[in-house]
Amino acid sequence: MINTVIFDIGGVLVDFDWEGFMRRLFPGREELITELDAAVWGNRRWDRLDAGDEPEEVFASIIAHAPNREKELRQVFANVGDTLRKRPSTPVWIKDVKSRGYRVLYLSNYSRYVMKCNPDVLDFLPLLDGGVFSCDVREIKPDRRIYEIITEKYNLVPSECVFIDDVERNVEAGKNFGFHAIQFVTLKQAQEDLNKLLEAK
């Protein structure tokens, strides 16, 4: 029987719009954006920030892959909080799931640096029953260890949990770990998929 729902945050409980952010920051400069994207995301460099590494160490590694773009990369780092925006539906969704008797947790790849850049976007956290941020445990999705950590911390049985994430590889890792898992594509789809699971179980 399912007793716990585990939400990802970015892309599920809050909007995460990297492409829109980059186009607002550098309008009409598509070649530059492509170059910066490769420096930031290549070889999972940004993941090290989510895993709790020191920001300046991560930034130095990123800049090393595009040293001629340090000025623009520094603009990205300084304004990265603008990638995230609140979803009015989030508190309503959390309260609805809790009102049906389920424990609600979060499991998110997230850095303290980004939290400091935009703390207000997480104002729904007190509604949840707890959770795990990757930066606090120095493990990131889709690595198996972070799924083990949340189950150990909250004494969960994977088959009694639903995990919702927008990233396919994280969803697949959750399934392989033993969670019921849903890939978030749209709010309506994810809510319907969750309701079907909860009604069936």
Q: What is the pLDDT of residues 97-147, one digit of tens each?
A: 999 999 999 999 999 999 999 999 999 999 999 999 999 999 999 999 999
| Whole-structure pTM value | 0.94
Q: Cα–Cα distance between 172 and 120 in angstroms, integer?
A: 30
Tokens of 82: 């603008």
Q: Which helix (H) or strand (E) holds 128?
A: none
| CATH 3.40.50.1000 residue spans of the chain | 4-15+84-200
- Please list the helix, strand and coil fractions of the chain in percent, rounded to the nearest 5, in that order: 60, 15, 25
Give the model's confidence band at 201: pLDDT under 50 very low, under 70 low, under 90 confident, else very high. Answer: low
- Give the model's pLDDT for residue 44: 86
CATH topology of domain 4-15+84-200: Rossmann fold (3.40.50)
Give the model's confidence band at 164: pLDDT under 50 very low, under 70 low, under 90 confident, else very high. Answer: very high
Q: Classify residue 117 by burial, with Cβ atoms within 10 Å: 0-12, 13-18, 19+.
A: middle
Cβ contacts of 160 within 8 Å, gap of 6 or more = 1, 2, 3, 4
